[in-house]
Amino acid sequence: LFHPRGRRPTPLAMSVEEFRRQFPGESEHVEFKEGVGERAVEGAVAFSNARGGVILVGVDDAGRPRGRAAGGGAADAIHTALS
């Protein structure tokens, strides 16, 4: 779904049911994080040293979407954490 070579457009929004179909759980290439912190940074480093992956921020460990504000503060927090 989010792979750079994927042929489908990346959705801007999806229902909880669609989300669970696309991301039934964490895997070698998918991690769920409720926020942007040390664990998210560790996941990003691990993916950069492997074959890549996607970190879904705003999702708890059980795969339940919890949400995260998508304003400029979220982008700044991600940038700062990975700097």
In tens, the pLDDT along 46-55 reads 988 988 888 8
Annotate 59-76 with b (16+ C-beta within 10 A) or e (fewer).
Answer: beeeeebeebeeeeeeee
10 or 36: which leads in pLDDT: 36
- Asked if residue 36 lies in contact with residue 78, where contact means CB atoms within 8 angstroms, the answer is yes
pLDDT tens readout for residues 18-77 = 989 989 999 998 999 988 888 888 888 898 898 888 888 889 999 998 887 766 677 787
Q: pTM for the full model? A: 0.75
